C-alpha cells in the first residue's frame, strides 16, 4: 500500500501546492488548516484548490484501487452561500492534457454527486439524497478507475459508506497524475462568497 498524508502546516511545498482562478479567489494558510474561498463576482469559473502530483509522484492507472481523503469544516451557512454546482475532491489529469477528472461534486441542489468529466462532458454515476454535514468531518472517495461497467466509485463520510457506483468512471483510459481538494468549477458563484476549511489531505493506493 502506498500512503501519503500531505502536511498542511508546511503548505505550500513541493508535494502540495495551490491554484486559484482569480486573485479574488483565495487559498489562505492558517497553520493547522487551509481556507479555500471563491466567488462574489462574475467569472467564467471560480476555483481555489490544493493540488498534489506536480512533482510526478502520483500515477494512477486503470484498474488500481485508490482512496483520496480530507478533513473538512463547512461553516453553518455553506449551503446558504452556495449558488451552483462545485467540485470538492478529485483525481485527474493535468490541465494541459485536457480536463479528465473523477470524484466528488456538490450539485446546485446542495447534494453530493460522484461523477467524472472529460472536457465538456460531465457524467454523474451516483446521486446523493442528503447534504454533506456542516462542521468538522472526514471525506474519502474510493475509486477503481475503468472505462467500462465494473468500475468502483464510493463515498465515505466519517468512515461510513454514503453511496457507491459500479458504472464506468472514466471516458478515456488515461492514467491520472493529479489530486485536487478545495472548490472548483463554481461558475455560478457570482454574488456570494463560498468557502470552507481543510485541515488534512491524504491519499492511498492499494499496490
Return the residue matching grid coordinates 452561500: 81
Long-range pairs, 2-7, Cβ under 8 A, ≥24:
2/203, 2/204, 2/205, 2/207, 3/202, 3/203, 3/204, 4/52, 4/57, 4/202, 4/203, 4/204, 5/200, 5/201, 5/202, 6/50, 6/52, 6/201, 6/202, 6/203
Whichever domain contains 23, its CATH number is 2.60.120.200
Q: What is the pLDDT along the chain (207 residues), one digit of tens a residue?
A: 566 778 777 777 768 889 999 999 999 999 899 999 999 999 988 999 999 987 778 888 889 999 999 999 999 999 999 999 999 999 998 765 568 899 999 999 999 999 999 888 899 999 999 999 999 999 999 999 999 888 999 999 999 999 999 999 998 878 899 999 999 988 999 999 999 999 999 999 876
pTM of the model: 0.93
3-state secondary structure of 31: coil
Which range marks the domain in which residue 146 is found? 2-206
Amino acid at each position: 500500500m502506498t500512503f501519503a498524508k500531505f502536511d498542511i502546516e508546511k503548505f505550500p511545498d513541493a508535494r502540495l501546492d495551490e491554484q486559484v482562478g482569480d486573485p479574488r479567489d483565495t487559498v489562505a494558510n492558517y497553520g493547522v488548516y487551509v481556507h479555500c474561498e471563491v466567488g462574489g463576482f462574475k467569472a467564467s469559473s471560480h476555483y481555489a484548490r490544493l493540488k498534489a502530483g506536480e512533482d510526478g509522484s502520483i500515477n494512477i492507472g486503470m484498474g488500481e484501487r485508490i482512496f483520496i481523503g480530507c478533513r473538512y469544516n463547512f461553516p453553518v451557512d455553506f449551503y446558504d452561500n452556495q449558488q451552483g454546482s462545485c467540485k470538492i475532491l478529485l483525481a485527474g489529469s493535468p490541465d494541459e492534457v485536457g480536463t479528465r477528472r473523477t470524484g466528488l461534486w456538490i450539485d446546485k441542489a446542495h447534494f453530493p454527486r460522484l461523477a467524472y468529466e472529460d472536457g465538456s462532458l460531465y457524467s454523474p454515476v451516483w446521486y446523493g439524497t442528503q447534504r454533506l454535514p456542516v462542521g468538522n468531518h472526514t471525506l474519502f472517495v474510493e475509486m477503481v478507475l475503468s472505462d467500462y461497467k465494473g468500475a468502483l466509485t464510493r463515498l465515505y463520510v466519517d468512515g461510513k459508506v454514503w453511496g457507491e457506483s459500479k458504472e464506468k468512471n472514466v471516458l478515456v483510459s488515461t492514467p491520472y497524475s493529479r489530486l485536487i481538494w478545495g472548490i472548483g468549477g463554481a461558475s455560478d458563484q457570482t454574488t456570494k462568497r463560498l468557502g470552507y476549511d481543510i485541515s488534512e489531505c491524504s491519499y492511498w493506493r492499494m499496490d
